[in-house]
Amino acid sequence: MMKTELRFWGAAGCVTGSKYLISNQQGRILVDCGLFQGLKSLRALNRASWEIPPADIAAVVLTHGHLDHVGLLPRLVREGFRGKIYGTRPTLAIARIILEDSAKIQMEEAEKALKEGYSRHAKPEPLYSLEDVANTLPLFSSVETGEWIALPVPGWRVRYTPNGHILGSCFIEMDAGGTRVVFSGDIGRREDLLLPPPGRPRRADVLLLESTYGNRLHPDLDMEAELAAQIKGTITDRGTCIIPSFAVERLQAIMLILLKLRQRNRIPRLPVYIDSPMGTNVFELFGRFPNWHKLSRSDFQEMKREFLIVSDYSETWKAIDDPRPKVVVAGSGMLSGGRVLTYLAQLLDREETRILLMGYQAEGTRGRNLLEGARELKIFGKYIRVAAGIHHYESLSAHADQEEILWWTAGMENQPGHIFLVHGEPTAADALRVKLFAERGWVARIPNLGESVRF
């Protein structure tokens, strides 16, 4: 039998840059093509040379549309990839929004760094441009869930099943040379505000399992009560409550909670600014893909009416200058870029400001630095003193915790012969490894970045 090789190009020993190359003598398939975020050593990999020419990859298969799973596609295409890029319709719609936003941010930051002279490079260059994104989009090919789809490698096929992480997200079963390989993608929550519970695989010979929260359980908090208390405190302090938010799913969940608080008169009326052009665009996808979520049509319409949607950058400054107590929900969730940085540059050094960090903060990001007690943050080349109150909540995480990961794997009829714990920092992955062995007798491995295995 022809051997199959699996290479861990990303999300091995870390939570970003998801990329797995699976191949045999007849072809190569790339599962996800994500951007590295966080630590500088990881971000440098976004510009590293490909181990093989992108033109030699037959197709890309996407689990979902987050930046750390799709963000390097334009570079792959610019450097020679010409195959199809498979994903569900919502995934491809989200990927388009995210890639265009990513290109704009990179181009703007390169221009700003050149103008203000805070880059180490004589001429800062974006990782890719809007033109590169435009050249990527024609390769998108939508798939239906629950159906086997032939891949451009003889005898290989894939099947998509929703896994409850974000709109359109799925785990992927791949039949590769007689071996069933399951890529978990990012597994969602069993009980989520917006999405149905994840589907589960029935069997796997090889399992790539995410481990983002492999070492912890999400707290059982009443997020309505928590947000209500923070907003009332903001009013008392006459300050600003800034909620950095991931544009996909988290922003929409926060909007829904704020709407429910208003509907139930649990918070006074105050300005609520939604300042995430990408998040606003993703919000519109909830109208296009109603079968993928639980949000009612009436709540969807009311959320559009109730909040101050910021579109133009000049409106960001009007929101900052608004003297009233206010709430600002802005991207990005780990403070790695986006509109939230403008708010932080102006308001982080004020004691009446509150920062509510929602969900996972990757190592090396500004969000993680705040959680670890940083007294200043570098924003736009300048150091800003941290005087704001910092609060962290994980109850709205879109990632399964340890217990939910165990539940997700409990539906399997067999014990996978190979289990690789990916998309997690070493401590989290190792805790999940120990738990899987203690409860199931399953032996799992934590692969190294760049490692190759054969089966």
Q: Express as a percent the part of the chain with pLDDT over 70.
A: 98
Beta strands in 245-388 (DSSP E): 272-275, 308-309, 326-330, 353-358, 376-379, 382-385
- Contact call for residues 431 and 214 (beta carbons, < 8 A): yes
Q: What is the pLDDT of residue 357?
A: 96
Q: For residue 220, what are the contacts with CB-CB under 8 A and spacing of at least 6?
A: 395
Q: Tokens 């999405």, residue?
A: 195
Q: What is the pLDDT of residue 247?
A: 87
CA-wise closest residue to 171 among 180, 179, 160 = 160
Domains and CATH numbers, the chain: 5-216+398-454 (3.60.15.10), 223-393 (3.40.50.10890)
Question: In the predicted model, what is the mean pLDDT of residues 155-183?
Answer: 97
Q: What is the pLDDT of residue 1?
A: 59
Q: For residue 198, what are the contacts with CB-CB under 8 A and spacing of at least 6?
A: 162, 163, 164, 165, 171, 187, 188, 189, 190, 400, 408
Question: In the predicted model, what is the mean pLDDT of residues 254-275?
Answer: 95
Q: pLDDT digit string (tens) for 308-325?
A: 999 888 999 999 999 999
Beta-strand relationship, 5-8 and 20-24: antiparallel
Query: How far, in Å, CA of 238 to CA of 258, rounded?
Result: 19
Residue 176's DSSP bridge partners are 179
Question: In the predicted model, what is the mean pLDDT of residues 132-149?
Answer: 98
Confidence of residue 118 (pLDDT cuts 50, 70, 90): low
- Contact call for residues 58 and 27 (beta carbons, < 8 A): yes
Q: What is the pLDDT of residue 320?
A: 97
- Contact call for residues 214 and 429 (beta carbons, < 8 A): yes
**What average pLDDT is seen over the chain?**
95
Q: What is the dihedral of CA 320, 309, 269, 226, to 10 degrees?
A: -80
- Whether the pLDDT of residue 302 is over 70: the answer is yes
Question: In the predicted model, what is the mean pLDDT of residues 171-184?
Answer: 96
Query: How far, in Å, CA of 266 to CA of 288, rounded?
Result: 31
Q: What is the pLDDT of residue 119?
A: 64
- Whether the pLDDT of residue 381 is over 90: the answer is no
Q: pLDDT digit string (tens) for 29-43?
A: 999 999 999 899 999
What are the residue ranges of helices labelled H in 32-126? 40-43, 67-70, 73-78, 89-116
CA-wise closest residue to 135 among 89, 91, 96 = 96
Query: How far, in Å, CA of 130 to CA of 107, rounded?
Result: 9
Residue 258 structure tokens: 């704020």
CA-wise closest residue to 78 among 129, 44, 21, 30 = 129
How many angstroms from the chain centroid is the CA of residue 424? 13
Q: Express as a percent the part of the chain with pLDDT over 90.
A: 85
Neighbouring C-beta atoms of residue 226, cutoff 10 Å: 16
- Contact call for residues 242 and 343 (beta carbons, < 8 A): yes
Query: How far, in Å, CA of 313 to CA of 240, rounded?
Result: 18
Counting beta carbons within 10 angstroms of the beta carbon of residue 8, is it exposed (0 to 12), middle (13 to 18) or buried (19 or more)?
buried
Residue 286 structure tokens: 């909830």
Q: What is the pLDDT of residue 416?
A: 98
- Whether the pLDDT of residue 422 is over 70: the answer is yes
Confidence of residue 122 (pLDDT cuts 50, 70, 90): low
